[in-house]
Amino acid sequence: MRGIYFLLTFISLTLGYSPSNVIQANDKNFHEIVTAPGKFTFVDFYADWCRHCKKLSPVIDQLSNLFVDYPEIQVVKINGDKDGKKMSKKYVEIGYPTLLMFDDSGKHVEFNGVRDIDAFSNFIQQLSGVRLDKSKQDEVGEVAQEEEENKDAVISLTPESFEQQLQNTQYAVVSLEGSWCTHCKEFAGVFDRLATTVYARNKNIVFATLTVDEQGHGDEILDRYGVKRIPALLFVKDGNLNDPVVYEGDLKRINKVIDLVNDFTGTLRDIQGGLKDGAGVIKQITESIAKANGNYKEILHQLDEVSGDTAPFYKSIVESLLTDPNAINVEYNRVKLVLDRDIDNLSGGTIDSLKQRLNVLNSLRL
């Protein structure tokens, strides 16, 4: 009976165990691992406090699985917070994560590209001369597609990539953080929620982070904008990095931060990501319609000079008013019915569009 118990226990542990192909190195065995004869070793230097490292970890695991049938390639992780402090101090010059490719002589090259499975696999193949077979290349494509679909809502910036990644953005909200900063870690959850929930539908707003490490790498960005305390927010419009708005005030209350982003972008979002009343309303057009006394043709000319998501809708309403004085109420009832009845079946973009129209109509009914 006892033997059966141990057998069942062994089977349970075997079924529940999922072996990792990543080698976990430490200060004692690192040199031996990376100088193993005939081996090329891709090393991820990480730290427990580094949220960018945590996001990268599953990608490194997938990378190791790609090369599991290629004994020349090793994928290694080493923890700069625990038993890899000595080696990390030696090899990490900029900050975490640091990604290096070693040959068996100990020579290494740093990876500085886009941190995705496709770029990593190409980097390894180019430096090692090893070529993945077609089935593995297809696997890379599938993983890359999944990565694109699940792309992080928050971009990780470095001082070197700072200008390039922000220069073509319409609106960018950058969280300036420090690796040692407790308040920054607390704010990270708030910032992620802004990107993934509150403003998830706003593709014209980029959310990014720049982390200054304990060695001071990144201080040049803080000095450039006169930032004295972190966490802080940097608001960049139309890629203009010469004159951003810097905010170093209260970041503990998410509603306060949402107000800041709303004011900066002109987007009226609530904490759930929905549009507030007033979103989409063009005040001067609403006032002109209220004063028109049935003379709407002049407003049509005025609308030709107005930009905004709801300008075409205003125009269609004004054109309807020329033939039907009750057009506003008719359209209001129709849009409200759709939102009330079908909201669970509508996409986020459609809900936003209908909510803006309802706001416009409601402003015209007052």
Mean pLDDT of 220-237: 94
Long-range contacts, stretch 84-90, CB < 8 angstroms, 24+ apart: 84/25, 84/26, 84/27, 84/30, 84/45, 85/27, 86/27, 87/25, 87/26, 87/27, 87/30, 87/45, 88/45, 88/47
Residue 337 has pLDDT above 60, yes or no: yes
Of the candidate CATH numbers 1.20.1150.12, 1.10.357.20, 1.10.260.40, 1.20.120.140, the domain formed by 283-365 belongs to 1.20.1150.12
Mean pLDDT of 24-47: 93
Mean pLDDT of 3-12: 37
Residues 270-303 have pLDDT tens digits of: 999 999 999 999 998 899 888 888 788 888 888 8
pLDDT at 332: 92
Q: Where are the domains of the chain?
A: 2-149, 154-265, 283-365
Class of domain 2-149: alpha beta
Mean pLDDT of 313-329: 89
pLDDT at 148: 55
In eight-state DSSP terms, residue 176 is E
Place 205 in a pLDDT band, splitting at 50, 70 and 90: very high
pLDDT at 3: 44
Give the angle subtended at the CA of 103 by the CAs of 97 and 108, to the nearest 5°. 45
Give the burial class of 197: count Cβ atoms within 10 A of its Cβ; 0-12 exposed, 13-18 middle, 19 or more buried.
middle
Residue 359 has pLDDT above 90, yes or no: yes
- pLDDT: which is higher, 2 or 132: 132
Residues 80-111 have pLDDT tens digits of: 988 999 999 999 876 788 999 999 999 999 98
Residue 325 has pLDDT above 50, yes or no: yes
pLDDT at 301: 80
Respond yes or no: is residue 50 known to be catalytic: yes
Give the burial class of 103: count Cβ atoms within 10 A of its Cβ; 0-12 exposed, 13-18 middle, 19 or more buried.
middle
Q: Is-same-fold flag (2-149; 283-365)?
A: no
* Mean pLDDT estimate for the chain: 85
Alpha-helix residue ranges (DSSP H) falling in the chain: 2-16, 30-34, 51-66, 85-91, 117-128, 134-149, 162-166, 182-193, 219-224, 254-265, 283-290, 297-303, 311-321, 327-342, 348-365
β-strands 205-212, 245-247 pairing = unpaired
Mean pLDDT of 188-198: 90
Q: Name the amino acid, one letter, at 26.
A: N
pLDDT at 134: 80
Respond yes or no: is residue 53 known to be catalytic: yes
Residue 220 has pLDDT above 60, yes or no: yes
- DSSP for 340-366 reads HHHGGGS-HHHHHHHHHHHHHHHHHH-
Q: In the chain, what percentage of residues exceed pLDDT 70?
A: 91
pLDDT at 33: 93
Residue 213 has pLDDT above 60, yes or no: yes
Class of domain 154-265: alpha beta
Q: Which of 22, 47, 53, 289 is catalytic?
A: 53
- pLDDT: which is higher, 284 or 51: 284
Q: Which of 22, 47, 50, 233 is catalytic?
A: 50
pLDDT at 143: 65
